[in-house]
Structure 1
Amino acid sequence: MKCAGVPFSEIHRRLGLSRNTVASWIYGARATRITDDRCPFCSRPSRPVDRPSDYAYLLGMYLGDGHLLTTRRVPLLKVACDLRYPAVIAEVGEAMLACGARTVGHQRRDGRDDVRSWWVHWPCLLPQHGPGKKHERRIALSKWQEEIVDVHPGRFLRGLFHSDGCCTQNRVVRNGKEYSYRRYMFTNKSADIMSECQKALDRLGVVWRMCSPIQLSVARRDGVAVLDHHVGPKS
Protein backbone atom coordinates (compact mmCIF):
# COMPACT_ATOMS: atom_id res chain seq x y z
CA MET A 1 0.00 0.00 0.00
CA LYS A 2 2.90 2.35 0.76
CA CYS A 3 4.19 1.97 -2.79
CA ALA A 4 0.67 2.65 -4.08
CA GLY A 5 0.75 6.06 -2.42
CA VAL A 6 -1.46 5.25 0.57
CA PRO A 7 -0.51 7.49 3.51
CA PHE A 8 1.14 5.83 6.52
CA SER A 9 -1.69 6.82 8.88
CA GLU A 10 -4.25 5.28 6.54
CA ILE A 11 -2.31 2.00 6.34
CA HIS A 12 -2.29 1.31 10.07
CA ARG A 13 -5.94 2.44 10.34
CA ARG A 14 -7.11 0.03 7.62
CA LEU A 15 -5.13 -2.89 9.04
CA GLY A 16 -6.21 -2.18 12.59
CA LEU A 17 -2.63 -2.37 13.86
CA SER A 18 -0.53 -0.03 15.96
CA ARG A 19 1.64 2.63 14.33
CA ASN A 20 4.78 1.01 15.80
CA THR A 21 3.96 -2.39 14.27
CA VAL A 22 3.36 -0.97 10.81
CA ALA A 23 6.42 1.26 11.06
CA SER A 24 8.62 -1.73 11.92
CA TRP A 25 7.35 -3.54 8.82
CA ILE A 26 7.91 -0.61 6.48
CA TYR A 27 11.05 0.95 7.93
CA GLY A 28 12.58 -1.84 9.99
CA ALA A 29 15.00 -3.20 7.42
CA ARG A 30 16.41 0.16 6.49
CA ALA A 31 16.44 1.48 10.07
CA THR A 32 19.18 -0.93 11.10
CA ARG A 33 21.31 -0.46 8.00
CA ILE A 34 24.20 1.97 8.52
CA THR A 35 26.66 2.40 5.69
CA ASP A 36 30.02 4.12 5.72
CA ASP A 37 29.00 6.51 2.94
CA ARG A 38 26.64 8.23 5.37
CA CYS A 39 29.58 9.33 7.51
CA PRO A 40 31.51 12.36 6.22
CA PHE A 41 34.26 11.80 8.81
CA CYS A 42 35.69 8.56 7.47
CA SER A 43 35.62 6.11 4.60
CA ARG A 44 36.14 3.05 6.77
CA PRO A 45 35.17 1.98 10.33
CA SER A 46 38.81 1.96 11.47
CA ARG A 47 39.41 5.72 11.35
CA PRO A 48 41.65 6.63 14.33
CA VAL A 49 40.39 9.18 16.85
CA ASP A 50 41.97 12.55 17.62
CA ARG A 51 41.82 12.21 21.43
CA PRO A 52 42.61 8.53 22.15
CA SER A 53 42.75 8.97 25.94
CA ASP A 54 39.21 10.38 26.08
CA TYR A 55 38.07 7.76 23.60
CA ALA A 56 39.43 4.95 25.81
CA TYR A 57 37.38 6.32 28.73
CA LEU A 58 34.23 6.64 26.62
CA LEU A 59 34.70 3.12 25.24
CA GLY A 60 34.81 1.75 28.79
CA MET A 61 31.66 3.66 29.72
CA TYR A 62 29.90 2.48 26.56
CA LEU A 63 30.75 -1.17 27.17
CA GLY A 64 29.35 -0.82 30.68
CA ASP A 65 26.26 1.40 30.53
CA GLY A 66 26.12 2.65 26.95
CA HIS A 67 23.69 2.06 24.12
CA LEU A 68 23.94 3.14 20.49
CA LEU A 69 20.65 3.56 18.65
CA THR A 70 21.25 3.29 14.91
CA THR A 71 18.49 4.39 12.56
CA ARG A 72 18.27 6.01 9.15
CA ARG A 73 18.28 9.26 11.06
CA VAL A 74 21.36 10.43 12.93
CA PRO A 75 22.60 7.67 15.33
CA LEU A 76 22.13 8.39 19.03
CA LEU A 77 24.67 7.40 21.69
CA LYS A 78 23.35 7.18 25.25
CA VAL A 79 25.32 6.44 28.42
CA ALA A 80 23.28 5.92 31.58
CA CYS A 81 24.87 7.55 34.65
CA ASP A 82 23.80 7.58 38.28
CA LEU A 83 22.58 11.01 39.36
CA ARG A 84 24.60 10.63 42.57
CA TYR A 85 27.81 11.13 40.60
CA PRO A 86 27.68 14.50 38.78
CA ALA A 87 31.45 14.47 38.12
CA VAL A 88 31.08 11.19 36.19
CA ILE A 89 28.18 12.65 34.22
CA ALA A 90 30.29 15.68 33.32
CA GLU A 91 33.28 13.54 32.34
CA VAL A 92 31.18 11.40 30.00
CA GLY A 93 29.86 14.50 28.25
CA GLU A 94 33.36 15.94 27.95
CA ALA A 95 34.62 12.66 26.46
CA MET A 96 31.86 12.69 23.83
CA LEU A 97 32.80 16.21 22.81
CA ALA A 98 36.51 15.33 22.83
CA CYS A 99 35.82 12.48 20.42
CA GLY A 100 34.27 14.94 17.97
CA ALA A 101 30.56 15.22 18.80
CA ARG A 102 29.25 18.77 18.45
CA THR A 103 26.59 18.69 21.14
CA VAL A 104 25.72 16.67 24.24
CA GLY A 105 22.33 16.52 25.93
CA HIS A 106 20.87 15.04 29.09
CA GLN A 107 17.68 13.14 29.87
CA ARG A 108 17.03 12.67 33.58
CA ARG A 109 14.61 10.10 34.99
CA ASP A 110 14.39 7.34 37.57
CA GLY A 111 17.52 8.45 39.42
CA ARG A 112 19.77 8.48 36.37
CA ASP A 113 21.07 10.88 33.76
CA ASP A 114 21.24 9.58 30.20
CA VAL A 115 24.09 11.51 28.59
CA ARG A 116 23.08 11.70 24.92
CA SER A 117 24.79 12.69 21.69
CA TRP A 118 23.55 12.53 18.09
CA TRP A 119 26.36 11.97 15.55
CA VAL A 120 26.71 10.04 12.28
CA HIS A 121 30.22 8.93 13.25
CA TRP A 122 29.29 6.99 16.42
CA PRO A 123 28.70 3.65 14.62
CA CYS A 124 32.21 3.92 13.16
CA LEU A 125 33.78 4.68 16.55
CA LEU A 126 31.75 2.03 18.40
CA PRO A 127 31.54 -1.00 16.09
CA GLN A 128 30.47 -3.18 19.05
CA HIS A 129 26.91 -1.90 18.67
CA GLY A 130 24.24 -4.37 17.64
CA PRO A 131 20.83 -5.80 18.49
CA GLY A 132 20.24 -7.39 21.89
CA LYS A 133 22.04 -7.19 25.21
CA LYS A 134 25.82 -7.07 25.20
CA HIS A 135 26.22 -10.18 27.37
CA GLU A 136 24.11 -12.18 24.91
CA ARG A 137 26.30 -11.48 21.88
CA ARG A 138 29.96 -11.44 20.92
CA ILE A 139 31.92 -8.33 21.96
CA ALA A 140 35.36 -7.97 20.40
CA LEU A 141 37.52 -4.87 20.03
CA SER A 142 38.79 -3.91 16.60
CA LYS A 143 42.55 -3.81 16.09
CA TRP A 144 42.66 0.00 16.22
CA GLN A 145 40.65 -0.04 19.47
CA GLU A 146 43.03 -2.58 21.01
CA GLU A 147 45.96 -0.32 20.10
CA ILE A 148 44.33 2.62 21.90
CA VAL A 149 43.53 0.53 25.00
CA ASP A 150 47.11 -0.80 25.00
CA VAL A 151 48.38 2.77 25.29
CA HIS A 152 45.66 4.02 27.66
CA PRO A 153 44.63 1.05 29.84
CA GLY A 154 44.09 3.28 32.87
CA ARG A 155 41.58 5.49 31.08
CA PHE A 156 39.80 2.44 29.70
CA LEU A 157 39.57 0.94 33.19
CA ARG A 158 38.32 4.26 34.54
CA GLY A 159 35.40 4.04 32.12
CA LEU A 160 34.67 0.41 32.99
CA PHE A 161 34.78 1.00 36.75
CA HIS A 162 32.82 4.25 36.52
CA SER A 163 30.04 2.32 34.79
CA ASP A 164 29.98 -1.17 36.30
CA GLY A 165 32.46 -0.93 39.15
CA CYS A 166 32.84 0.45 42.64
CA CYS A 167 35.33 0.88 45.47
CA THR A 168 34.18 -0.60 48.78
CA GLN A 169 35.43 -1.03 52.32
CA ASN A 170 35.57 -4.75 53.04
CA ARG A 171 35.52 -6.08 56.61
CA VAL A 172 36.57 -9.54 57.75
CA VAL A 173 36.94 -11.17 61.16
CA ARG A 174 39.96 -13.39 61.81
CA ASN A 175 40.80 -14.93 65.16
CA GLY A 176 38.27 -12.69 66.82
CA LYS A 177 39.72 -9.48 65.37
CA GLU A 178 38.08 -7.36 62.70
CA TYR A 179 40.13 -6.15 59.75
CA SER A 180 39.09 -3.57 57.20
CA TYR A 181 40.55 -2.95 53.75
CA ARG A 182 39.53 -1.24 50.53
CA ARG A 183 38.95 -3.10 47.32
CA TYR A 184 37.71 -2.41 43.81
CA MET A 185 34.90 -4.52 42.34
CA PHE A 186 33.85 -4.83 38.69
CA THR A 187 30.65 -6.63 37.72
CA ASN A 188 29.54 -7.45 34.19
CA LYS A 189 27.60 -10.38 32.72
CA SER A 190 29.54 -10.34 29.46
CA ALA A 191 32.50 -12.72 29.51
CA ASP A 192 34.04 -10.74 26.62
CA ILE A 193 33.85 -7.41 28.44
CA MET A 194 35.17 -9.05 31.62
CA SER A 195 38.10 -10.36 29.59
CA GLU A 196 38.88 -6.86 28.29
CA CYS A 197 38.89 -5.60 31.89
CA GLN A 198 41.25 -8.38 32.93
CA LYS A 199 43.65 -7.65 30.06
CA ALA A 200 43.74 -3.94 30.90
CA LEU A 201 44.50 -4.75 34.55
CA ASP A 202 47.28 -7.08 33.42
CA ARG A 203 48.80 -4.26 31.35
CA LEU A 204 49.06 -2.17 34.52
CA GLY A 205 50.44 -5.08 36.54
CA VAL A 206 47.37 -5.19 38.79
CA VAL A 207 46.59 -8.55 40.41
CA TRP A 208 42.91 -9.47 40.27
CA ARG A 209 40.74 -12.45 41.12
CA MET A 210 37.27 -13.59 40.15
CA CYS A 211 34.74 -13.67 43.01
CA SER A 212 32.15 -15.19 40.66
CA PRO A 213 31.80 -15.65 36.88
CA ILE A 214 30.48 -12.08 36.61
CA GLN A 215 32.45 -10.27 39.35
CA LEU A 216 36.11 -9.31 39.60
CA SER A 217 37.95 -8.04 42.67
CA VAL A 218 41.18 -6.08 43.17
CA ALA A 219 42.11 -6.20 46.85
CA ARG A 220 45.92 -6.24 47.12
CA ARG A 221 47.28 -2.97 48.45
CA ASP A 222 49.53 -2.23 45.49
CA GLY A 223 46.74 -2.97 43.00
CA VAL A 224 44.30 -0.75 44.90
CA ALA A 225 46.89 2.05 44.82
CA VAL A 226 47.19 1.75 41.02
CA LEU A 227 43.41 1.94 40.60
CA ASP A 228 43.27 4.86 43.04
CA HIS A 229 45.54 6.69 40.62
CA HIS A 230 43.69 5.79 37.42
CA VAL A 231 40.09 5.37 38.62
CA GLY A 232 39.54 6.79 42.10
CA PRO A 233 36.19 7.15 43.86
CA LYS A 234 33.09 8.14 41.91
CA SER A 235 31.86 11.64 42.61
Structure 2
Amino acid sequence: MHSPEMRARVRALRAQGNNIRSVARTLALPYTTVWHWCVDRPDPVQANSAARCFRCRPDQVGPSDPTAYAYLLGLYLGDGHLVTTDRVPVLRIYCTDTWLNLIESCDAAMRAVLANRVQRIQKQGCVAVQSTGKHWPCLIPQHGPGKKHQRPIILAGWQQEIVTAQPGHFVRGLFHSDGCRVSNRVTVRGREYVYPRYMFVNESADIMGLCQWALDLLGIGWRMNRRNSLSVARREAVAALDRHVGPKS
Protein backbone atom coordinates (compact mmCIF):
# COMPACT_ATOMS: atom_id res chain seq x y z
CA MET A 1 0.00 0.00 0.00
CA HIS A 2 1.49 3.31 -1.09
CA SER A 3 1.37 6.33 1.17
CA PRO A 4 -0.44 9.60 0.37
CA GLU A 5 3.00 11.24 0.31
CA MET A 6 4.06 8.98 -2.57
CA ARG A 7 0.89 9.83 -4.50
CA ALA A 8 1.62 13.52 -3.90
CA ARG A 9 5.17 13.10 -5.23
CA VAL A 10 3.79 11.41 -8.35
CA ARG A 11 1.33 14.21 -9.03
CA ALA A 12 3.96 16.86 -8.35
CA LEU A 13 6.28 15.33 -10.95
CA ARG A 14 3.40 15.12 -13.45
CA ALA A 15 2.55 18.77 -12.81
CA GLN A 16 6.14 19.65 -13.77
CA GLY A 17 5.54 18.15 -17.23
CA ASN A 18 7.15 14.72 -16.75
CA ASN A 19 5.39 11.91 -18.58
CA ILE A 20 4.01 8.87 -16.79
CA ARG A 21 6.82 6.57 -17.86
CA SER A 22 9.56 8.86 -16.55
CA VAL A 23 7.70 9.41 -13.25
CA ALA A 24 7.37 5.65 -12.77
CA ARG A 25 11.08 5.18 -13.49
CA THR A 26 12.15 8.02 -11.19
CA LEU A 27 10.12 6.71 -8.22
CA ALA A 28 10.62 3.00 -8.98
CA LEU A 29 6.86 2.43 -9.32
CA PRO A 30 4.93 0.25 -11.76
CA TYR A 31 3.79 2.16 -14.85
CA THR A 32 0.18 1.05 -14.37
CA THR A 33 0.13 2.33 -10.78
CA VAL A 34 1.27 5.79 -11.84
CA TRP A 35 -1.18 5.75 -14.76
CA HIS A 36 -4.13 4.99 -12.48
CA TRP A 37 -3.15 7.69 -10.00
CA CYS A 38 -2.71 10.36 -12.69
CA VAL A 39 -5.22 9.40 -15.37
CA ASP A 40 -7.81 6.91 -14.21
CA ARG A 41 -8.19 8.25 -10.66
CA PRO A 42 -7.34 11.96 -10.59
CA ASP A 43 -7.11 13.84 -7.35
CA PRO A 44 -10.71 14.69 -6.35
CA VAL A 45 -9.60 17.96 -4.76
CA GLN A 46 -9.07 19.93 -7.97
CA ALA A 47 -10.35 23.27 -9.13
CA ASN A 48 -13.22 23.10 -11.61
CA SER A 49 -12.81 24.35 -15.14
CA ALA A 50 -14.43 27.73 -14.42
CA ALA A 51 -11.82 28.44 -11.75
CA ARG A 52 -9.02 27.35 -14.10
CA CYS A 53 -10.18 29.26 -17.20
CA PHE A 54 -7.87 32.28 -17.39
CA ARG A 55 -10.23 33.99 -19.86
CA CYS A 56 -13.05 34.01 -17.28
CA ARG A 57 -11.03 35.02 -14.23
CA PRO A 58 -10.60 38.79 -13.85
CA ASP A 59 -7.62 38.25 -11.56
CA GLN A 60 -5.65 36.28 -14.20
CA VAL A 61 -4.30 37.98 -17.32
CA GLY A 62 -3.03 34.86 -19.06
CA PRO A 63 -2.53 31.11 -18.78
CA SER A 64 -0.68 29.84 -15.73
CA ASP A 65 1.47 27.77 -18.11
CA PRO A 66 1.81 29.71 -21.41
CA THR A 67 4.23 27.15 -22.86
CA ALA A 68 1.63 24.38 -22.45
CA TYR A 69 -1.07 26.58 -23.97
CA ALA A 70 1.06 27.47 -27.01
CA TYR A 71 1.89 23.79 -27.56
CA LEU A 72 -1.74 22.68 -27.17
CA LEU A 73 -2.93 25.38 -29.57
CA GLY A 74 -0.46 24.11 -32.18
CA LEU A 75 -1.69 20.54 -31.69
CA TYR A 76 -5.33 21.65 -32.02
CA LEU A 77 -4.69 23.58 -35.24
CA GLY A 78 -3.06 20.48 -36.71
CA ASP A 79 -4.98 17.42 -35.54
CA GLY A 80 -7.52 18.78 -33.08
CA HIS A 81 -11.28 19.09 -32.96
CA LEU A 82 -13.49 20.88 -30.45
CA VAL A 83 -17.00 19.44 -30.25
CA THR A 84 -19.49 21.98 -28.93
CA THR A 85 -22.72 20.20 -29.88
CA ASP A 86 -22.63 17.82 -26.90
CA ARG A 87 -23.92 18.77 -23.46
CA VAL A 88 -20.36 19.56 -22.40
CA PRO A 89 -17.73 20.62 -24.98
CA VAL A 90 -15.03 18.04 -25.78
CA LEU A 91 -11.52 18.93 -26.93
CA ARG A 92 -10.08 16.01 -28.87
CA ILE A 93 -6.54 15.68 -30.30
CA TYR A 94 -5.72 12.72 -32.54
CA CYS A 95 -2.24 11.20 -32.08
CA THR A 96 -0.76 8.27 -33.98
CA ASP A 97 -0.72 5.42 -31.45
CA THR A 98 2.94 4.55 -32.06
CA TRP A 99 4.10 7.97 -30.77
CA LEU A 100 3.80 7.37 -27.04
CA ASN A 101 5.72 10.47 -25.98
CA LEU A 102 3.46 12.64 -28.14
CA ILE A 103 0.39 11.14 -26.45
CA GLU A 104 1.92 11.83 -23.03
CA SER A 105 2.84 15.40 -23.98
CA CYS A 106 -0.66 16.10 -25.29
CA ASP A 107 -2.18 14.67 -22.10
CA ALA A 108 0.11 16.80 -19.92
CA ALA A 109 -0.64 19.97 -21.90
CA MET A 110 -4.40 19.52 -21.55
CA ARG A 111 -4.02 19.10 -17.79
CA ALA A 112 -1.72 22.09 -17.48
CA VAL A 113 -4.13 24.35 -19.41
CA LEU A 114 -7.59 23.34 -18.13
CA ALA A 115 -8.38 19.62 -17.83
CA ASN A 116 -9.06 17.87 -14.54
CA ARG A 117 -9.42 14.57 -16.34
CA VAL A 118 -8.09 13.34 -19.70
CA GLN A 119 -9.30 10.27 -21.55
CA ARG A 120 -7.49 8.24 -24.19
CA ILE A 121 -9.77 6.56 -26.71
CA GLN A 122 -8.17 3.96 -28.95
CA LYS A 123 -9.09 4.34 -32.61
CA GLN A 124 -7.82 2.51 -35.68
CA GLY A 125 -4.18 3.56 -35.94
CA CYS A 126 -4.46 6.47 -33.50
CA VAL A 127 -5.42 7.54 -30.01
CA ALA A 128 -7.92 10.32 -29.38
CA VAL A 129 -6.66 12.27 -26.36
CA GLN A 130 -9.71 14.14 -25.10
CA SER A 131 -11.06 16.25 -22.27
CA THR A 132 -14.52 17.55 -21.53
CA GLY A 133 -14.87 21.06 -20.14
CA LYS A 134 -17.38 23.89 -20.43
CA HIS A 135 -14.58 26.41 -20.84
CA TRP A 136 -12.60 24.86 -23.71
CA PRO A 137 -14.44 27.15 -26.19
CA CYS A 138 -13.15 30.15 -24.22
CA LEU A 139 -9.58 29.00 -24.81
CA ILE A 140 -9.94 27.68 -28.37
CA PRO A 141 -12.05 30.33 -30.15
CA GLN A 142 -11.01 28.92 -33.56
CA HIS A 143 -13.56 26.12 -33.24
CA GLY A 144 -16.50 26.06 -35.63
CA PRO A 145 -18.53 23.86 -37.98
CA GLY A 146 -16.79 22.19 -40.89
CA LYS A 147 -13.15 21.59 -41.67
CA LYS A 148 -10.52 24.13 -40.65
CA HIS A 149 -9.40 24.85 -44.21
CA GLN A 150 -12.98 25.74 -45.13
CA ARG A 151 -13.29 28.55 -42.58
CA PRO A 152 -11.08 31.46 -41.45
CA ILE A 153 -8.53 30.62 -38.74
CA ILE A 154 -7.43 33.84 -37.07
CA LEU A 155 -5.79 34.14 -33.65
CA ALA A 156 -7.35 36.47 -31.10
CA GLY A 157 -5.16 39.30 -29.84
CA TRP A 158 -4.43 37.55 -26.54
CA GLN A 159 -3.46 34.37 -28.43
CA GLN A 160 -1.08 36.34 -30.63
CA GLU A 161 0.60 37.68 -27.50
CA ILE A 162 1.09 34.15 -26.13
CA VAL A 163 2.48 32.79 -29.41
CA THR A 164 4.76 35.81 -29.84
CA ALA A 165 6.23 35.04 -26.40
CA GLN A 166 6.30 31.25 -26.96
CA PRO A 167 6.83 30.66 -30.71
CA GLY A 168 8.98 27.56 -30.18
CA HIS A 169 6.29 25.71 -28.24
CA PHE A 170 3.62 26.74 -30.77
CA VAL A 171 5.76 25.47 -33.66
CA ARG A 172 6.43 22.27 -31.72
CA GLY A 173 2.68 21.65 -31.49
CA LEU A 174 2.18 22.31 -35.20
CA PHE A 175 5.00 20.00 -36.28
CA HIS A 176 4.02 17.31 -33.78
CA SER A 177 0.58 17.23 -35.37
CA ASP A 178 0.90 17.96 -39.10
CA GLY A 179 4.66 17.89 -39.50
CA CYS A 180 7.56 15.46 -39.61
CA ARG A 181 11.33 15.26 -39.66
CA VAL A 182 12.61 13.08 -42.49
CA SER A 183 15.87 12.08 -44.12
CA ASN A 184 15.95 13.58 -47.61
CA ARG A 185 18.01 11.77 -50.25
CA VAL A 186 19.42 13.47 -53.35
CA THR A 187 21.84 12.25 -55.99
CA VAL A 188 24.35 14.73 -57.42
CA ARG A 189 26.73 13.58 -60.18
CA GLY A 190 26.18 9.98 -59.24
CA ARG A 191 26.78 10.48 -55.53
CA GLU A 192 23.96 10.15 -52.99
CA TYR A 193 23.59 12.65 -50.17
CA VAL A 194 21.32 12.32 -47.13
CA TYR A 195 20.29 15.29 -45.01
CA PRO A 196 17.54 15.96 -42.44
CA ARG A 197 14.54 18.02 -43.40
CA TYR A 198 11.35 19.20 -41.70
CA MET A 199 8.02 19.18 -43.53
CA PHE A 200 4.74 20.78 -42.49
CA VAL A 201 1.62 20.00 -44.52
CA ASN A 202 -1.76 21.65 -43.98
CA GLU A 203 -4.64 22.50 -46.32
CA SER A 204 -5.51 25.71 -44.46
CA ALA A 205 -3.77 28.78 -45.87
CA ASP A 206 -4.42 30.55 -42.55
CA ILE A 207 -2.77 27.80 -40.46
CA MET A 208 0.14 27.67 -42.91
CA GLY A 209 0.51 31.42 -42.48
CA LEU A 210 0.62 31.03 -38.70
CA CYS A 211 3.38 28.43 -39.04
CA GLN A 212 5.36 30.76 -41.30
CA TRP A 213 4.89 33.64 -38.87
CA ALA A 214 6.08 31.59 -35.88
CA LEU A 215 9.13 30.35 -37.79
CA ASP A 216 9.93 33.95 -38.71
CA LEU A 217 9.72 34.88 -35.02
CA LEU A 218 12.33 32.19 -34.34
CA GLY A 219 14.52 33.35 -37.23
CA ILE A 220 14.21 29.94 -38.94
CA GLY A 221 14.32 29.92 -42.74
CA TRP A 222 11.61 28.08 -44.66
CA ARG A 223 10.22 27.75 -48.15
CA MET A 224 7.02 26.49 -49.74
CA ASN A 225 7.70 23.48 -51.96
CA ARG A 226 4.00 23.04 -52.72
CA ARG A 227 0.83 25.06 -52.14
CA ASN A 228 0.08 23.15 -48.92
CA SER A 229 3.59 22.06 -47.93
CA LEU A 230 6.34 23.96 -46.10
CA SER A 231 9.94 22.79 -45.96
CA VAL A 232 12.80 23.61 -43.58
CA ALA A 233 15.94 22.15 -45.13
CA ARG A 234 18.97 24.38 -44.68
CA ARG A 235 21.43 22.91 -42.20
CA GLU A 236 21.36 25.85 -39.77
CA ALA A 237 17.56 26.08 -39.95
CA VAL A 238 17.13 22.36 -39.24
CA ALA A 239 19.53 22.61 -36.31
CA ALA A 240 17.55 25.55 -34.90
CA LEU A 241 14.24 23.73 -35.32
CA ASP A 242 15.71 20.65 -33.64
CA ARG A 243 16.10 22.73 -30.49
CA HIS A 244 12.38 23.46 -30.45
CA VAL A 245 10.76 20.40 -32.04
CA GLY A 246 12.89 17.32 -32.69
CA PRO A 247 11.56 14.05 -34.14
CA LYS A 248 8.15 12.78 -33.05
CA SER A 249 8.27 9.66 -30.86
State the TM-score, normalizing by the size of structure 1. 0.81
Matching of residue 61 in structure 1 with residue 75 in structure 2? yes
Residue 72 of structure 1 deviates from its aligned partner by 5.7
1:129-148 to 2 correspondences below 5 Å? 129-148=143-162
Would you say 1:202 and 2:216 are equivalent positions? Answer: yes
Amino acid at match of 2:139: L
Give the Cα separation in 2 of the matches to 1:156 and 1:232. 13
* Structure whose alpha-carbon radius of gyration is higher: 1
Residue 211, structure 1, aligned to residue 219, structure 2: no
Of 142, 155, 159, the residue aligned with 2:169 is 155
Specify the alignment match of 2:37 in structure 1: none
Equivalent residue, structure 2, for 1:186: 200
**For 2:140, which of 107, 117, 126 is the aligned residue?**
126
Q: How many residues align?
A: 198
1:116 corresponding residue in structure 2: 130
Percent of aligned pairs with the same amino acid? 55
Rounded Cα–Cα distance in structure 2 between residues aligned with 1:131 and 1:60:
19
Deviations 1:123-176 (A, max 9, x none): 000000000000010000001101000011110000000000000000111111
Taking only aligned residues, the RMSD between alpha carbons, in angstroms, comes to 1.8
1:72/1:85 Cα in 2 relative to 1: closer, same or farther (>3 Å)?
A: closer
Q: Structure 2 CA distance, aligned partners of 1:96 and 1:88?
A: 12
Matched with 1:75 is: 89
Q: Deviations over 1:49-73 (max 9, x none)?
A: 1111000000000000000001361
The whole-number CA distance in structure 2 between the counterparts of 1:168 and 1:100 is 33
Determine the structure 1 residue equivalent to 2:109: 95
Q: CA deviation at 1:39?
A: 5.2
Distance 1:89 1:62 in 2: 13
Check 1:108–1:175 CA distance in 2 against 1; reply closer, same or farther (3 A cut). same
Q: Deviations over 1:152-208 (max 9, x none)?
A: 111000000000000000011111111111000000000000000000000111110
What is the aligned counterpart of 2:240 among 222, 226, 232? 226
Q: Give the unaligned 5+ runs of structure 1.
A: 1-37
Name the residue aligned to 1:165: 179
- Following the alignment from structure 2 to structure 1, what is the Cα–Cα distance between the partners of residues 95 and 76? 11
Task: Identify the residue that residue 66 of structure 2 maps to in structure 1.
Answer: 52
Letter in 1 for 2:104: A
Deviations 1:55-113 (A, max 9, x none): 00000000000000013611100000000100000000000000021000010010100
Secondary structure in structure 1 of the residue aligned to 2:209: helix
Q: Distance in 1 between matches of 2:154 and 2:78?
A: 14
In structure 1, C-alpha distance between the alignment counterparts of 2:240 and 2:217, rounded to whole Å? 11
**TM-fit CA distance, 1:230:** 0.5
Q: Any unmatched runs of 5+ in structure 2?
A: 1-48
